[in-house]
Homo-oligomer: A and B are copies of this chain.
Amino acid sequence: MHRLLSGLHRGGGVPSVPAPPVSGASQEEIRRQNLGAVLRYVHVHGPTSRAELTARLGLNRSTIGALAADLAAAGLVTEEPPATVRRAGRPSLVVSPRTRVYAQALSIEPDRLRAARIGLGGRILDLRETDRDAGASALDAVAPLAALTEEMTRAVEPDAVRAGVAVAVTDTSRDRDGRVRIGGPDEALRAALDAAFAAGPAVLAGDLADIAGLAEHVRGVAAGVDDLVYLHGGAGVSAGIIIGGRLVMGHGGRSGKVGHMVVNPGGLPCECGSRGCWQTEIGEAALLRHAGRDPGSPDGVREVLCAAAAGDPVARAAVERVADWLGFGVANLVNVVNPDTVVFGGSLRDVYTAGADTVRRRLDELALPVSREHVQLRPAALGRDAALIGAAELAFAHLLADPLNVGNPA
C-alpha cells in the first residue's frame, strides 16, 4: 500500500495520469484517465473554466465539456457561469470541486493525534485532536483516531461521500538492544487501521515527513517544484524527498532518515546507538542544550528562539550553532540528491528562519557550485496541518484515478 505513494504525484502541481497496464488501454480506460485528469486539475488548482481546462489538458473543447458534465452528474464538481463576464460571447462554464466529497486524514504525531475531514479541493472542513500519551505505540493511536473520526462523521451532511482514509505516521520504538527502531507504518498498524475503518478502500499509511513533503509539493511553498527536500524537525529529524515529481521512497518506504546521517564522527551519542548523527546537532534537544535549558521543556524551542530574537547572546549563539550544522547537512543532501528547493518544516522552520544567513553561508561553503547555485531555501507554508493535508492527497488517490467509481455516503 505504502508504495502507492511513489506513483501519486508526478509532474509537479498537476500530477499526470498513471501509466496504463501493458495489457493495453481500452476506450474505457482512456475515459477514466481523462476524467481523472480534469478532476485532479480542479482539485489542485481550484475552480477552472472549461476554456482553461481545454488549454491546460490538451483535450478538445467538446471532450472537456462531456467530461465535466459526467463529473457534475456524479456529484463531484459543479458547473456554473463565471461570477463576472469579461467579454462578449457565451462565457465558459467554471468547473469547481464539491466539498461534499471528502478525505478522512489522520496523523499520529509525537505528542498529538489529529483527525481532519478535508474536502475535494483541499479545504479543511473539520479538525479535531487529542493528546497522545508519552510512550504510547502507534497501535495505541488507532482507537482514539477512530473515535475522533466517528465524532466528525456524525456531524456530516447526509449527502457527504468519504473518498478514502489515510494516515501520516511518526513512530519510534526501541529494539531489544535499546536501539531506536524507526518504524513508520508496519503491518500490525495497517491491519488495525483497516479493521477500524472497515468501510471503503484500504487505509493508506505513510511516513509523516514524506506526507508533509507531498503536501508542500502539491499545495505549499514548493507547489510546482519537481525536485525538493522537505526537512521535518521535532525530537528527531527526517525528510520527504521528491525528485522528478515523485516521492523517493526507497526499499520498504524507509528513505529520508536524514536525522541519522552521521555528520560529526566522534560527536554525541544518538538514541539510535550511533554517534554524531545529524539530529544530535540540529534536533530540538541540541538547541535547548546549547541554550542551557531543560531539554524536556515543552515550549523550550519557542522560548530560545524568542530570546535569540530579543538579543539574548546565549540563545543567539545556540541558534547560530544549530543553523551552522543545519547548513552542513543540507549541503550533503544538496550534493546527493540535487534538489531545486529545500523546505524547512516542523521546529526546523523557525530555526531556519532565525538562522537563514548562517544556513546559506554553510551551504555555499560546502556544496558544489553546480548543485547549490540554484537551490532555494524556504520555510514551510502549511505549518502543523501539512501532514493532514498530505494524507488527504493520499486518501483522494483512488477517486482521482477513477472518479466515477466513488464510494458510498459515509
Contacts and interface: CB of A to CB of B under 8 A. Distances in A.
A244 interface: yes
A194 to B, nearest CB: 22
A384 to B, nearest CB: 25
A74 to B, nearest CB: 19
B243 A250 contact: yes
Interface string A13-35: 00011111111110000100110
A335 B261 contact: yes
Interface stretch (A153-161, A176-184, A398-406): A176-184
Interface in A18-57: 18-25, 30, 33-34, 37, 57
A41 B265 CA distance: 47
A66 interface: no
B19 A255 contact: no
Interface stretch (A131-139, A211-219, A326-334, A345-353): A326-334
A246 B244 contact: yes
A179 B338 CA distance: 18
B25 A370 contact: no
Contact of A30 (B25, B182, B331): B25
A354 to B, nearest CB: 23
A21 B244 CA distance: 17
A59 B338 contact: no
A179 B372 CA distance: 14
Interface in A346-374: 365-371, 374
A209 interface: no
A336 B258 contact: yes
Nearest to A38: B22
Interface in A209-248: 226-227, 239, 241, 243-244, 246, 248
A339 B248 contact: no
Contacts of A298: none
A274 interface: yes
B337 A248 contact: yes
15 contacts: A18-B19, A175-B369, A243-B248, A248-B337, A252-B374, A254-B370, A255-B336, A255-B338, A256-B338, A257-B335, A258-B336, A261-B332, A262-B328, A262-B366, A333-B336
